[in-house]
Amino acid sequence: MFKKILIANRGEIACRVAATARRLGVKTVAVYSDADAQAKHVAACDEAAHIGGSAPKDSYLRWQAILDAARATGAQAVHPGYGFLSENEDFARACAEAGLVFIGPPASAIQAMGLKAESKRLMEQAQVPLVPGYHGTDQDPALLQREADRIGYPVLIKASVGGGGKGMRAVDRPEDFLAALQSCKREALNSFGDDAVLIEKYVQRPRHIEIQVFGDTHGNCVYLFERDCSVQRRHQKVLEEAPAPGMTPELRARMGEAAVAAARAVGYVGAGTVEFIVEQPAGYDHPEQMRFYFMEMNTRLQVEHPVTEAITGLDLVEWQLRVAAGESLPLKQEDLRIHGHAIEARICAENPDNQFLPATGTLAVYRKPAHVSFQRGPVRFDDGVREGDTISPFYDSMVAKLIVHGDSREQALARLDDALAQTHIVGLATNVQFLRHAVRSASFAQARLDTALIQREQAALFHQQPVSLPLAVAAAVAHTLVQERAGETTDPFSKTDGWRSHGQFQRRFAFEDGDAHVPAVLAYGHGGGLRLTVGEGAHAVTGELVFSAHPAASASPLADAPPWALDLCFAGERVRATVYMQGERAHVFTPQGARQVVEVDLLAHAGDAATEGGRLTAPMPGKVVSFAVQAGEVVKKGQPLAVMEAMKMEHTIAAPADGTVTELLYAPGDQVAEGAELLKLAPA
Ligand code: ADP
Ligand code: ADP
Ligand code: MG
């Protein structure tokens, strides 16, 4: 076994590899860019080398810097992770030339599988089933059009060098073909520097089922069963699971053997994945009717490898290191077994409600579910970030992977839902809520999997508010009270802005929910109970507010106030809520989901309104109680001018600057609308 390896990657996969290396007693060297100087993967390794600027082309793609770092630190081997240089045959060769072991397949295998068209020609010879299509070298547009017409529409045009869901165009009608071809070629040239394409029949409602394979340098090759990665957005995976629902031992064996044949055809060594597209014929009622076709082979460890680790109980990075060090595969095909069911969810910094646009920002709160790492446990959480880290625009938007394992799919699903509920991220948009809706959708719950799942279930997936507004406001109000009680020894109602009226204390709050203004009034009754009214008029919700508070498991140093777990009862709803305040924004997490409301500081905003160009306006609808000044009076900044009452609370309106009162526009007792000008002040 190696004594020291260099990990030529970042983020979660660099941390993942480092964890296994540490367990095996192998020292690790991290490489990092400017943006990653303080990154978790740097801390996870024994040594680190700076390799350049933040953009990947200035660091993680700079082989020379990486090879220099390996030489300088005495690393014997290089693990490329996934992405970046992992499927670059020139880098694999350069490692060998520098006397380093590349922890991956031979450069020739990477090359053979690197171009989708070429790999299909090879697979054809190896009798691996292919999607009906054209993968020839002749790229004459007229010929490509004829081939598309022959295959029959819809067809899919794919960049031969494509990857990551890029460089693909579906075409429904022959008359659209040439335009789609041009646009696909443009994208391919821009993204990959090569515009060769292939054409495939566009399989309707297909499933993506892939086989994990492993080869060694002694001629052994096995398959570690399948993963279903059908739940995709923009041809990119979102949820992955193993085994594939509906799979039979016979079909598994046929697909596994086809994958091993594919690997053997290119002399494969190490971890690889053969991706198949699986057709479910109309009205199909038996898995044996599923037809599978080779799509591509990924010649590296895959993002979703943990689900395979969960069901086999194996550490695939350990296998990679052993094979790269020249050992034989630890197990034979007949020794491999499937235990239970595993599902992975990719947690990404992105906004699902806005076309999954990537998000950047700081992880102000980053609370993970209770978990174990790198073992076959019920919940595993793989990440490369820590609370306080910044998600920068330079790299992938994937923040973490949540992997659950259960005796059955049903149990794994329940664990996934629960673990997602315990994943609290504040500071940037993530897909955590979206993942929960996806996991709970009828299609996913019932394992009706295909690549159109997200589109089919969109009504249940996007723009959802799993927490009611009154409940979110109640949680925010309760959190404020708990904060105050924690900070003071006295009852909050005896101070601050409570207003006593008819033997009741009343306190007024205001929230913003999107564009809506939501007032809330808290009444402190004779018996010591709290009565909360959220909203006004016909939409008002009133009820007893009952809660108890416990400090939340981990306090975030960055959020303004320490979080509390609140057991809360309000208006017929009972929930455990955790609230994080970020300035005025309350992030409320409950087992049902999360919601944000903005708490408006009424007094501060009354001041804001008053300062606008000498106009003095009502901060809220209410009644003018009194004026403290008369027209013509000279006033000093901060001097009280008028008193207003709204929702049984008084507000004093103070002079925003020195000046002269020129006119009073209302009389005591008048009702005024929000924003109404109360008096005029000529600044001095
Ligand atoms: P799969 O492994 O299932 O094919 P992807 O194609 O999404 O999944 O995985 C490869 C992608 O991961 C690359 O395209 C790259 O953008 C991204 N990637 C590469 N390195 C990292 C990293 N260290 N952390 C997160 N994402 C990465
Ligand atoms: P990439 O290199 O970007 O991963 P793939 O060839 O693996 O490209 O395809 C990515 C995804 O696109 C697949 O997982 C599948 O959802 C979809 N796809 C690919 N080929 C077809 C096809 N012939 N018909 C329908 N969908 C396809
Ligand atoms: Mg693929």
Q: For the segment 66-106, what is each residue's pLDDT rounded down to a tens digit? A: 999 999 999 999 999 999 999 999 999 999 999 999 999 99
Q: Which of 204, 211, 235, 346 to mutate to test the pocket of ligand 2 (most atoms within 8 A of CB)?
A: 235
Residues bordering ligand 3, an ion, CB closer than 5 Å: 275
Strand-pairing partners, residue 110, are none
- Using a 6 Å cutoff on CB, does residue 235 contact ligand 2? yes
Q: What is the mean pLDDT of the chain?
A: 90
What confidence score (pLDDT) does residue 561 get? Answer: 65
What does each C-alpha distance from 224 to 131, 147, 634 come to in angstroms? 23, 36, 85
> Within the chain, which residues score under 50 in pLDDT?
489-502, 607-613
What confidence score (pLDDT) does residue 555 get? Answer: 54
Which residue has the least CA distance to atom 13 on ligand 1? Answer: 83
Would you say 342 and 242 are in contact if contact means Cβ atoms under 8 Å apart?
yes
What confidence score (pLDDT) does residue 646 get? Answer: 64
Quick: pLDDT tens for 463-482.
Answer: 999 999 999 999 999 999 88
Going from the Cα of 190 to the center of ligand 1, the distance in angstroms, rounded, reads: 19
Given 16, 207, 227, 300, the catalytic residue: 300
Going from the Cα of 440 to the center of ligand 1, the distance in angstroms, rounded, reads: 26
Q: Which of 33, 396, 431 to mutate to test the pocket of ligand 1 (most atoms within 8 A of CB)?
A: 396
Which residue has the least CA distance to atom 23 on ligand 2? Answer: 202
pTM above 0.75, yes or no: yes
What confidence score (pLDDT) does residue 494 get? Answer: 41
Going from the Cα of 222 to the center of ligand 1, the distance in angstroms, rounded, reads: 24
Element (H, E) at 547: strand 541-551
Going from the Cα of 677 to the center of ligand 1, the distance in angstroms, rounded, reads: 58
Quick: pLDDT tens for 546-605.
Answer: 999 988 766 555 566 667 889 999 999 999 999 998 888 999 999 999 999 999 876 555
Q: Which long-range contacts (CB under 8 A, 24 or more apart) does 637-646 make?
A: 641/616, 641/678, 641/679, 641/681, 642/616, 642/678, 642/679, 644/618, 644/619, 644/620, 644/672, 644/678, 646/508, 646/620, 646/621, 646/622
Ligand 2: nearest atom to the Cα of 204: 25
Ligand 2: nearest atom to the Cα of 162: 2
Would you say 621 and 646 are in contact if contact means Cβ atoms under 8 Å apart?
yes
CA 198 – CA 131 distance, rounded (Å): 11
Does residue 300 carry a catalytic annotation?
yes
Ligand 1: nearest atom to the Cα of 304: 3
What confidence score (pLDDT) does residue 612 get? Answer: 42
What confidence score (pLDDT) does residue 610 get? Answer: 41
